[in-house]
């Protein structure tokens, strides 16, 4: 058999495997009716205790909080609770599918918060696309939460919403598609360039897509040391440059895009993705979730030892095996079923664990940098290679270490109300995350969360 037919057979087998999670998701989401539920934190051994947890006893902590509002963190769940807020206008790579259709994603986010970070998170789906109403709603619900995670909100309004909430909210507000994505990309890139023997300040990066994720990536990477003039950004209409009058005419709306037109693309290239990728060292893609968004031939024109981060979900812009065959030395995607998952799920549980525990006022770029360094360092300790540039989500020791590093950075920046040391936060985070994972394990062992039934039997029910 010739080599080419063998490649074709392997590719077909890989495609079948890549599509299997979607098949399983349809079956199991219906079987379990969702992924999260509430659980009690306090013990109840007899009905008399209800007088403590509810009326008349509950009036005492209520009066204490009324006298000193900060006591709400001591007497309620607020210290450990995050609202995941979305209007469903930019869900994964699915686009504007609406609040109801976006709920399974936000449930999954809440599940990861709990299992990986020990954080009690809850989806808040908003039936409004109006940025002012979204800001108003978040400000109105913040008394019941310790933090806000904005999620899957379309640009450019997502930038304005985040900016306004960071100015006006009394609790830390984070847009995971911006800050979380940028943090994990930075971590992956630190190790990827190390493997291929290049310097972060010298690499030529093509950012394929100019939505919330890549705009945030440019901002965090440039601040960390990537050289903007060596980079090129491509949106749906082509390469960003100083002659993009369509952006200039709307520069008050697309502030970040117009800034990128000014500071990137020193050669002032025009054209599309194909032109942008020529001689590039790195391609970072958060764009259209189709495997031909980045084509095989374009990867072949990249510099030697090229790095490709094809991060669209649920389908990457190019299948990883195709990018490898085209000559890429390192390929990453946003999916956990492929090597090198570059996904914000590695970031937000640990960052928010540390942020909540020291009661930080906000989440800064510097806190994101230390989180990225934790990820990169822990992978390096295990031995990085082209198939392993970042820890995987099952390496749960990542999250308490990240929480501790983030907490210490918040303290050093004067943003923390509870000044914990690294060791204090590490031990606290370790215990909280361990307990959360054990709770899930105990519920399954007790049959309160049933184990997945026989596959064939559940398929019949489906």
Residues 107 and 139 in one domain: yes
Which residue, among 245, 87, 258, has the nearest Cα to 175 in the 3D structure? 87
3-state secondary structure of 215: helix
Residues 143 and 197 in one domain: no
Which residue, among 277, 280, 287, 265, has the nearest Cα to 95 in the 3D structure? 287
Q: What is the pLDDT of residues 316-345, one digit of tens each?
A: 999 999 999 999 999 999 998 899 999 999
3-state secondary structure of 361: coil
Residues 93 and 208 in one domain: no
Q: What is the model's pLDDT at position 450?
A: 86
Q: What is the model's pLDDT at position 141?
A: 97
Residues 282 and 189 in one domain: yes
Whether this model's pTM surpasses 0.85: yes
Any domain includes 60: yes
Residues 209 and 260 in one domain: yes
Structure token digits, residue 193 = 């360039």
Write down the number of H helices and E strands in the chain.
19, 10
Residues 351 and 261 in one domain: no
- Of 114, 139, 171, the residue that ends a domain is 171
Q: What is the model's pLDDT at position 454?
A: 52
What residues make up the domain containing 355?
347-445
User: Domains in the chain: how many in total?
Assistant: 3
Any domain includes 198: yes
- Of 263, 298, 333, the residue that ends a domain is 333
Any domain includes 162: yes
Any domain includes 313: yes
Residues 186 and 309 in one domain: yes
Any domain includes 393: yes
What is the distance between the alpha carbons of residues 185 and 183, in angstroms, rounded to a whole number? 5
114: CATH: 3.40.50.10380
Q: What is the model's pLDDT at position 74?
A: 97
Q: What is the model's pLDDT at position 62?
A: 97
Any domain includes 41: no
Residues 184 and 323 in one domain: yes
- 422-445 and 398-412 helices, crossing angle to 10°: 150
Q: What is the model's pLDDT at position 4?
A: 40
Residues 299 and 375 in one domain: no
**Which residues of the chain are under the pLDDT cut of 70?**
1-10, 453-462
Q: What is the mean pLDDT of the chain?
A: 93
Residues 205 and 156 in one domain: no
314: CATH: 3.40.50.720
Residues 158 and 219 in one domain: no
Q: What is the model's pLDDT at position 14?
A: 74
Residues 198 and 323 in one domain: yes
Any domain includes 28: no
Q: What is the pLDDT of residues 10-45, one digit of tens each?
A: 677 777 787 888 888 888 888 889 999 999 999 999
What is the distance between the alpha carbons of residues 79 and 275, in angstroms, rounded to a whole number? 50
- Of 282, 304, 333, the residue that ends a domain is 333
The total number of residues shown for the chain amounts to 462
Q: What is the model's pLDDT at position 12?
A: 76
Q: What is the model's pLDDT at position 93?
A: 74
The label of the residue with tokens 């997502």 reads 158
Q: Which residues are catalytic?
A: 54, 109
Q: In what side-by-side order are the strands of the sheet with 120-125?
A: 120-125, 81-86, 147-150, 173-175
Any domain includes 191: yes
Q: What is the model's pLDDT at position 20?
A: 86
């Amino acid at each position: 058999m010739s080599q080419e037919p063998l490649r074709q057979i392997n590719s077909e087998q890989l495609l079948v495997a890549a599509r299997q999670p979607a098949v399983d998701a349809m079956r199991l989401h219906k079987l379990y009716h969702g992924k999260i539920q509430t659980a009690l934190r306090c013990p109840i051994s007899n009905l008399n205790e209800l007088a403590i947890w509810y009326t008349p006893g509950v009036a005492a902590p209520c009066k204490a909080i009324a006298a000193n509002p900060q006591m709400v963190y001591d007497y309620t769940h607020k210290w450990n609770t995050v609202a995941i807020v979305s209007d469903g206008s930019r869900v994964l790579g699915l686009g504007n599918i609406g609040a109801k259709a976006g709920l399974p994603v936000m449930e999954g986010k809440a599940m990861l918060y709990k299992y990986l970070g020990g954080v009690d998170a809850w989806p808040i789906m908003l039936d409004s696309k109006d940025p002012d109403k979204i800001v108003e709603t978040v400000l109105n619900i913040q008394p019941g939460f310790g933090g806000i995670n904005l999620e899957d909100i379309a640009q450019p309004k997502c930038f304005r919403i985040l900016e306004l909430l960071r100015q006006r909210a009394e609790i830390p507000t984070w847009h995971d598609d911006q800050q979380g994505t940028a943090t994990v990309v930075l971590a992956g890139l630190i190790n990827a360039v190390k493997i291929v023997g290049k310097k972060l300040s010298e690499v030529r990066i093509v950012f394929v897509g100019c939505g919330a994720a890549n705009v945030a990536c440019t901002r965090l990477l440039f601040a960390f040391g990537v050289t903007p003039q060596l980079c090129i950004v491509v949106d749906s209409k082509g390469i960003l440059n100083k002659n993009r009058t369509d952006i200039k005419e709307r520069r008050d709306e697309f502030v970040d895009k117009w800034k990128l037109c000014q500071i990137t693309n020193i050669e002032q290239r025009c054209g599309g993705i194909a032109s942008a990728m020529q001689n590039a060292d790195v391609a970072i893609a958060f764009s259209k979730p189709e495997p031909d968004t980045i084509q095989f031939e374009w990867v072949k024109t990249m510099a030697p030892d090229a790095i490709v981060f094809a991060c669209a979900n649920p389908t990457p812009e190019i299948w990883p095996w195709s990018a490898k065959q085209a000559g890429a030395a390192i390929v990453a995607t946003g999916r956990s079923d492929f090597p090198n998952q570059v996904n914000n799920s590695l970031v937000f549980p640990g960052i928010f664990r540390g942020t909540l525990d020291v009661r930080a006022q906000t989440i800064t770029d510097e806190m994101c940098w230390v989180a990225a360094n934790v990820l990169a360092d822990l992978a390096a300790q295990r031995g990085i290679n082209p198939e392993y540039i970042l820890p995987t989500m099952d390496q749960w020791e990542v999250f308490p270490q990240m929480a501790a590093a983030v907490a210490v950075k918040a303290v050093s920046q004067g943003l923390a109300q509870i000044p914990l040391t690294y060791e204090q936060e590490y031990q606290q985070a370790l215990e909280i995350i361990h307990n959360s994972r054990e709770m899930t394990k105990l519920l399954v062992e007790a049959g309160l969360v049933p184990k997945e039934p026989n596959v064939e039997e559940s398929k019949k029910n489906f």
